[in-house]
Amino acid sequence: MLYQIYEAQRTLLEPFADFAQAAAKLYSNPLSPFGNNPLSQRVSASYELMYRLWKDYEKPEFGIKTVQVGDGEVVIHESVALDKPFCELRRFKRFTDDPQRLEIMKKQPAVLIVAPLSGHYATLLRDTVRAMLQDHKVYITDWKNARTVPLDKGIFHLDDYVNYVQEFIRHLQSQYGNCHVVSVCQPTVPVLAAVSLMASRGETTPWTMTMMGGPIDARRSPTAVNNLAMNKSYDWFENNVIYRVPQSFPGAGRRVYPGFLQHSGFVAMNPDRHLSSHYDYFEHLIAGDDANAEAHRKFYDEYNAVLDMDAAYYLETIRVVFQEFQLVHGTWDVRGPDGRVERVKPEDITTTAHLTIEGELDDISGAGQTEAAHELCTGVPKSRQKHLEVKGAGHYGIFSGRRWRDVVYPQVREFIQRFHESDKQPRRSRAAAAAAESDA
């Protein structure tokens, strides 16, 4: 009933949020009779803050229209390359009419960015995508809100996540011969599993894997997030955080971990910081500091937009990654689309170079959790392995913001370029070659 109660409350608050938004504009407009008294700015700021606290936050857009490539800008066209029941493989194709710049872009590596399915939308990686587009052909996994997926599409399991990643890698390989994979936070585990399974079968694996701030071995330097997952039983999670989607959504009846619960957990980790941020926003509005006020809006438009996760996927992630540590213990079996069960063996990876990145102040994935991948991938030569600890960076700082752009991205770019063996691409079909030739 909790989900139904939440939706009823949200529906009840919706007209009040609309009223607060209208009142904020009314009191801030100098042409309005209400906007010409000494308290009008303060009243407008109060209504604006109420609107922001009560409104419903929908999925944001990536909104990347142009990027800098070399000494000029190119236009970005966003499209869906593959549409799966629970995920869209989203492509950002670059266009230019400059022949020299086009030739440069054709030779640049193709990168699959695997976004986390852990409460927020893939747009949280907007800064990651924008930076990568300067030097790469970029695709990203855009996970769907489980409450929008009808029940007849089936249940989404952690095994399905691994299978999706393999399918997406094969799709890029069919277009470009091979690709590079970047995983951020939660997907470091299923991505490592996907590449391991491909290696065990003798398939071509990506040239590189970049794993950023993920719980490869959650036993190391456990954070508050890890402790919650490890100290509560599987049954506790199933009985306390899993609810059915209300009838008002396409996925009515689906068992999910609701996004609003995940969001509550995010806020509960740092309540003082969020309270202070909202108070500062109020002060910025009163002072007419539009730049800082807009920065607050942009951050919380993203932070407050959350999605539901299928219960099977969420519970299996808790058990496999945070309670039984099956990846590091070598006991993880994954069921493929054909029904065959295979053991995940990272030691079978021999050619894929891997880079692990951690933030010094990461309070979600602790120190050493991502670096543990190097100990699992014993078949990869040390010369093809690298670890980076980003001083002064928290969890989000390793893939977004100034440290990502100035410190992390240059090293990711250099690592990918170092192992991008474009002269050794396997032979492709004429259709794939033609697609790559026209691609930017």
Q: What is the reported pLDDT for 263?
A: 87
**Residue 279 located in a structural domain:** yes
Domain boundary among 257, 286, 303: 303
Decide if 181 contacts 206 (C-beta within 8 A).
Answer: yes
> Helices in 88-210 by DSSP H: which ranges?
99-106, 126-132, 158-176, 188-200
Domain tally, the chain:
2
What pairing do the DSSP bridges indicate for beta strands 110-114 and 333-335?
Answer: unpaired
pLDDT of residue 269: 77
User: Cα 143 to the chain's mean position, in Å?
Assistant: 8
Among the listed residues 10, 107, 116, 68, the one whose alpha carbon sits nearest the alpha carbon of residue 440: 107
- Structural domain includes residue 83: yes
Q: What is the pLDDT of residue 308?
A: 96
- Are 282 and 45 in contact by the 8 Å Cβ rule? The answer is yes
Q: What is the CATH number of the domain that holds 158?
A: 3.40.50.1820
Q: What angle do CA 213, 158, 132 make, to 5 degrees?
A: 40
- Give the pair of three-digit tokens for residue 68: 């800098």
Q: In the prediction, which pLDDT does 176 show? A: 95
**How do beta strands 353-359 and 341-343 pair?**
unpaired
Low-confidence stretches of the chain (pLDDT < 50) are: 422-437
Residue 245 lies in a domain: no
Would you say residue 346 lies in a domain?
yes
Q: Which residues does 61 contact at the CB level (< 8 Å), separation at least 6? A: 123
Residue 284 sits in the same domain as residue 146: no
Q: Tens of pLDDT along 50-78? A: 999 999 999 999 999 999 998 889 999 99
- Cβ atoms of 357 and 211 within 8 Å: the answer is yes
Residues in the chain: 440
Say how far apart CA 205 and CA 212 lie, in whole Å: 19
Q: Are 42 and 286 in contact (CB under 8 A)?
A: yes
Which of 303, 319, 344 is the last residue in one of the domains? 303
Looking at 303, 319, 345, the residue that finishes a domain is 303
Q: Please, which residues bridge with residue 111 across strands? A: 138, 180
Residue 263 falls within a domain, yes or no? no
Considering the domain architecture, whether residues 352 and 297 belong to the same structural domain is answered as no
Does 252 map to a domain? Answer: no
Tally Cβ neighbours within 10 Å of residue 174: 15
Q: Which strands, in side-by-side order, build the sheet including 385-390?
A: 66-69, 72-84, 87-95, 137-143, 110-114, 180-184, 208-212, 353-359, 385-390
- Is residue 270 in a domain? no
Which pLDDT tens digit goes with each residue over 9-36? Answer: 889 999 999 999 999 999 988 878 787 7
Q: By the 8 A CB rule, do 398 and 358 touch?
A: yes
The answer on 16 and 82 residing in a single domain is no
Is residue 105 domain-shared with residue 170, that is, in the same domain?
A: yes
How far is C-alpha 315 from the geometric centre of its chain's CA atoms?
19
The helix/strand/coil state of 271 is helix
* In a shared domain, residues 149 and 289: no
Threshold 0.75, pTM exceeds: yes
SS (H, E, C) 112-139: EEECCCCCECHHHHHHHHHHHCCCCEEE
Q: Which two tokens stand for residue 290?
A: 């539009």
Please state, in angstroms and rounded to a whole number, the distance separating the CA atoms of residues 274 and 270. 7
Tokens coding 166: 């393999």
The percentage of residues in the chain with a pLDDT greater than 70, rounded to a whole number, is: 95
Distance (Å, rounded) from C-alpha 350 to C-alpha 328?
A: 18
Q: Which residues contact 123 (CB under 8 A, 6 or more apart)?
A: 59, 60, 61, 62, 302, 305
363 in the same domain as 220: yes
Same-domain check for residues 98 and 148: yes
For residue 186, being part of any structural domain is answered with yes
Closest residue by Cα to residue 118 from 186, 213, 212? 186
- pLDDT at residue 440, as a whole number: 56
- The pLDDT value given to residue 255: 97
Residue 388, H or E segment: strand 385-390
Name the residue among 326, 345, 342 with its Cα closest to residue 334: 342
3-state SS assignment for residue 313:
helix
From first CA to last CA, the distance across the chain in angstroms is 49
* Closest by CA position to 408, among listed 418, 397, 417: 397
Report the phi/psi class of residue 87: left, alpha or beta, with left for phi > 0 and alpha for psi in -120 to 50.
Answer: beta
The pLDDT value recorded for residue 423 is: 39
CA–centroid distance for 383 within its chain = 29
- Kindly list the distances between the CA atom of residue 265 and the CA atoms of 58, 70, 170, 183, 307, in Å, as whole numbers in the listed order: 19, 42, 36, 23, 13
Residues 362 and 412 in one domain: yes
- Residue range(s) defining the domain that contains residue 70: 66-237+311-438
